[in-house]
Amino acid sequence: MTAPATPSTAASDAARRRAQAVRAAVEQGLVGPDAPIVALLDTTGMRAGAAALRAAFADATDAPVLHAFAVKACPLVPVLRLLREEGLGAEVASPGELALARAAGMSAADTVLDSPAKTPAELREALGLGIAVNADNPQELARLDALVDSAGTASPLGIRVNPQVGAGSIDALSTATATSKFGVALLDDGARDWVVRAYAERPWLTRLHTHTGSQGVALPLMAQGVRAAYELAEEINAAVGRRQVDTLDIGGGLPVNFGSDEETPTYAAYVRVLKETVPGLFDGRYALVTEFGRSLLAKHGTVLARVEYAKRSGGRPIAVTHAGVQIAARTVYAPASWPLRIEAYDAKGRPKPGPAVAQDVAGPACFAGDLLAENRPLPLLEQGDYTAVLDTGAYYFAHHYSYNSLARPGVHGFTATPDGVRFATVRSPQSVEDLVTEAGGAHADALL
């Protein structure tokens, strides 16, 4: 029998900081009977992740690299501001995400607009600001033609292509399949020739974009997608007789390990695979853009929820908590693809002792499937205890699902040192008054 691997120092330190923050959140009243759910972000881990990303690519190329954080992964202004201070930019996919990036102080030069459904108004705004835009399809490129002809722009412009290299293990997140809705499908009849002609006819197209990665996509498949874009850029430049495409946007999508505190695969490992698969990518001829999101933040978020009731049904223990579908819709509806680790803490925020007992960890929503864990071995949870839902720093507490009009939890960043834990409010908890306003409270008589 193989012994379990010893956790790395970084993983052990992350676990220690998390446990310290959980206890402090209980002791300082961030969570309790009247505030039964809170989200926590480890700022030390966030900064370390950004540094690891920068270092991995800096070790591989002397060319400029813009690491544009995928705002969809955590659309919170203070988070974007911290990442900006760590040298990252922003990849946005809507007017709302652009507004958040600008509120965080992201510069136009460090911002990229990607979306499969950009409106004329969105394109005009982006080109007016000088933000980079990747056209998703020929119709969008025609819109850019008109805007460039009428007003010009300082925006770097390119086309997104779908290399059609195949799917990962989660179909809904696979962006490089034969029928993906994203980008120009390179293997379709005539598509590749159309792309080459589009660049030849438009000297202002200087970027080429692809995105293959996501959760469930292996590194070799990600690299195949990048190689397809690199080879297309080489073909375009040969066809026009000059280095017109000078920047490759290789997307993001590094998968995350949801099974332990280890941050694997690493950015350095991905760069090694890219070097093996696309060696010309790092020879300095192309500037690079990346669009990582989940891999930067997932491991550094924890949702802490109070156990409101502990009961049994059919002989199985059930802990009814305040964290469920409203913060973890993907896990509730697709648990096999999105399993989450859960830790048990007692009423004082200390790690729960005792033997592991198979039990369900349920959320507060009014449907039977609202479970974050089913038949999960944990120390037996009791009323007043806490569950810590791990690896939730990306997509989970920021993408709220308003089932039962459950309020969005407050989000707090924390810094843990031997001297204690300091919390900073990232987002205040949503009030019931906010809920009423959001639900049309100001228009109560509108339908009478």
Please list the pLDDT of the chain residue by residue as tens digits (448 residues).
Answer: 444 457 789 999 999 999 999 999 999 999 999 999 999 999 999 999 999 999 999 999 999 999 999 999 999 999 999 999 999 999 999 999 999 999 999 999 999 999 999 999 999 999 999 999 999 999 999 999 999 999 889 999 999 998 877 666 667 666 667 677 778 989 999 999 999 999 999 999 999 999 887 777 789 999 999 999 999 999 999 999 999 999 999 999 899 999 999 999 999 999 999 999 999 999 999 999 999 999 999 999 999 999 999 999 999 999 999 999 999 999 999 999 999 999 999 999 999 999 999 999 999 999 999 999 999 999 999 999 999 999 999 999 888 999 999 999 999 999 999 999 999 999 999 999 999 999 999 999 999 9
Q: What is the pLDDT of residue 2?
A: 47
Distance CA 277, CA 227 (A): 7
pTM of the model: 0.94
pLDDT tens digits for range 392-410: 999 998 889 999 999 999 9
- With 0-12 / 13-18 / 19 or more C-beta atoms within 10 angstroms meaning exposed / middle / buried, residue 416 is buried
Q: Work out whether strand 111-113 and strand 386-390 pair parallel, antiparallel, or are unpaired.
A: unpaired
In sequence order, which residues have a C-beta less than 8 Å from that of residue 310 and are 6 or more positions away? 317, 318, 319, 320, 380, 381, 382, 383, 385
Question: Within 73-218, where are the H helices?
Answer: 77-85, 95-103, 120-129, 138-151, 191-200
Closest CA to 388 of 334, 433, 342: 342
Dig out the tokens for 260 from the structure: 């332990």
Placement of tokens 């803490």 in the chain = 345
Distance CA 416, CA 112 (A): 33
Distance CA 424, CA 36 (A): 18
Q: Confirm if 319 and 307 have CB atoms less than 8 A apart.
A: yes
pLDDT tens digits for range 15-58: 999 999 999 999 999 999 999 999 999 999 999 999 999 999 99
Furthest C-alpha separation in the chain:
74
Sign of CA dihedral 160, 166, 170, 172: positive
Closest CA to 43 of 415, 422, 295, 411: 415
Dig out the tokens for 300 from the structure: 């550094």
Dig out the tokens for 309 from the structure: 């009731």
Distance CA 279, CA 286 (A): 12
Indicate the length of the chain as a whole number: 448
**Could you give phi then psi for residue 218, rounded to 5 degrees?**
-75, 155
Q: What is the pLDDT of residue 181?
A: 73
Distance CA 151, CA 47 (A): 40
